């Protein structure tokens, strides 16, 4: 059984579709003190908005449709992102829907906490586990990797 050790200071990726950016910024301002205890990452435009609103340095990837979602997914696979907070818009078709699906898939694959709306983000951010070390159990994909194609 593989374990991924998460430190008390989490590496949190923040992502939001266009129609959800204002909501994410509002949520982040409300949670500024707690977010300030963690290392923040974000896709391009969202990161720029958050950096100004929080007055905190944020590591920014490309804009989501230009590959930022895939960059976040890559960092999750590398064990360099611990938590994903992704305010996605279920009512609007996105030109990069395959990238969004891939990002959510890799987050589940590597068993990291994911919040896709404000209520879940609130629960996640206020969990005692968010503020202490945690050992995430990684699924065993040995049989999948050994399958005959």
Mean pLDDT lowest among 2-6, 68-72, 95-99, 108-112: 95-99
SS (H, E, C) 8-21: CCCEEEEEECHHHH
The percent of residues above 70 in pLDDT, for the chain, comes to 99
- The reported pLDDT for the residue numbered 1 is 74
Q: Using the 8-state DSSP alphabet, how is residue 64 labeled?
A: G
Q: Map out the domains of the chain with their CATH numbers.
A: 2-146 (3.40.50.1380)
Among residues 3, 5, 14, the alpha carbon closest in space to that of 129 is found at 5
| pLDDT band of 148, cuts 50, 70, 90 | confident
Q: Is 124 helix (H, G, I), strand (E, B) or coil?
A: helix
- The reported pLDDT for the residue numbered 137 is 93
Q: Using the 8-state DSSP alphabet, how is residue 37 labeled?
A: T
- The reported pLDDT for the residue numbered 116 is 96
Q: Mean pLDDT of all residues in the chain?
A: 93
* Gyration radius (Cα) of the chain, Å: 15
- Rounded to whole angstroms, the Cα distance separating 132 from 124 reads 13
Read off the pLDDT of residues 105-147 as tens digits, 9 standing for 90 and up: 999 999 999 999 999 999 999 999 999 999 999 988 888 888 8
Question: Residue 87's Cα: distance from chain center in Å?
Answer: 10
Residues marked as catalytic: 69
């Amino acid at each position: 059984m593989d374990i991924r050790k998460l430190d008390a200071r989490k590496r949190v990726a923040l992502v939001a579709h266009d129609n959800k950016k204002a909501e994410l910024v509002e949520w982040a301002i409300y949670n500024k003190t707690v977010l300030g205890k963690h290392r923040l990452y974000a896709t391009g435009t969202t990161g720029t908005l958050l950096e100004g609103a929080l007055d905190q340095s944020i590591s920014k990837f490309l804009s989501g449709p230009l590959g930022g979602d895939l960059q976040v997914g890559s960092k999750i696979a590398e064990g360099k992102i611990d938590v994903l907070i992704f305010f996605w818009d279920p009512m609007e078709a996105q030109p990069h829907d395959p990238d969004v699906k891939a990002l959510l898939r890799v987050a589940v694959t590597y068993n990291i906490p994911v919040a896709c709306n404000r209520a879940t983000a609130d629960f996640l951010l206020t969990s005692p586990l968010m503020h202490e070390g945690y050992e995430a159990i990684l699924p065993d994909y040995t049989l999948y990797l050994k399958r005959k194609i």
